[in-house]
Amino acid sequence: MDHKCDTRTIIHTPCEQELSFNVDINKSMLEKALKSTRLLYLDGRNSSAACEILQQARLQHPHIISLLDAERDRNDIYFDNLVANATYIVCSDRFLLEYHLTKSGEF
């Protein structure tokens, strides 16, 4: 956390387009990668692929710990699913308030 600028460092995985689980991620390779995984880090940038990865991880390891770095609301059902199913969410207090207000409709 940079207290001077009030920012934090995020892990950025740039890609030209959203990853597609069925096209870009080989399921058997994912199963092998998750074989000994106990902690799953997700950043929500490619929320549909992240949902599929989390679902596959939970099938293999029902008690896997998942950590979602929720930088901002992605405004899609996949991101909402990640928020609902992550073990832990790392976010700013601003994100937490805005996300809650947006989803609850309360002000």
How does pLDDT run across 55-98, given as a tens digit for each residue?
999 999 999 999 999 887 888 888 899 999 999 999 888 888 88
Per-residue pLDDT tens digits for 10-63: 666 666 665 555 655 678 888 888 998 999 999 877 888 889 899 999 999 999
pTM: 0.72
Q: Please give the Cα distance from 100 to 96 (Å, whole number).
A: 6
**Residues sharing a CB contact under 8 Å with residue 58, sequence separation 6 or more, in sequence order:** 64, 85
**Strand residues in the chain grouped as ranges (E):** 39-42, 65-69, 88-90
- Which H or E run includes 53? helix 47-60
